[in-house]
Amino acid sequence: MQAWDQKPREYASYKDRRGNSIAKWDYTAIDGYNSKSICGRGKKCQGWTTNGRYVVTTDKKGKSMLKVLVKVKAPHFFRKREIYGAGWAI
């Protein structure tokens, strides 16, 4: 199964002491180590993996905030003299 075919997994859902509703989901955006993925070693993603968690907080007035936590795992060590780039869109 491709990473983008997977639905985010709910991690937690609760209300804090201020009455804010908080929901957290774990996700995998790129699975570079799944042998059935098109992003496996030797392919387009070359072993790179991107996953993390996103958090939605909604206050009593209905105002919401989205926080996205991202972890990128490289198939090799980052070399300080090289340039890396990443893009993100929601």
Each domain of the chain, given as residue ranges in start order, spans 3-73
Q: How large is the C-alpha radius of gyration of the chain? A: 17
Section 82-87 average pLDDT = 70
CATH architecture of 3-73: Single Sheet (2.20)
pLDDT band for position 38 (cuts 50, 70, 90): low
Query: Which pLDDT score is estimated for 80?
Result: 76
CA–CA separation, 66 and 23 (whole Å)? 10
pLDDT band for position 50 (cuts 50, 70, 90): confident
Percent of the chain exceeding pLDDT 90 equals 31
Query: Which pLDDT score is estimated for 67?
Result: 94
Q: Partners of 55 in the beta sheet?
A: 24, 67
Q: Which of 6-10, 45-49, 65-69, 86-90 has the highest mean pLDDT?
A: 65-69
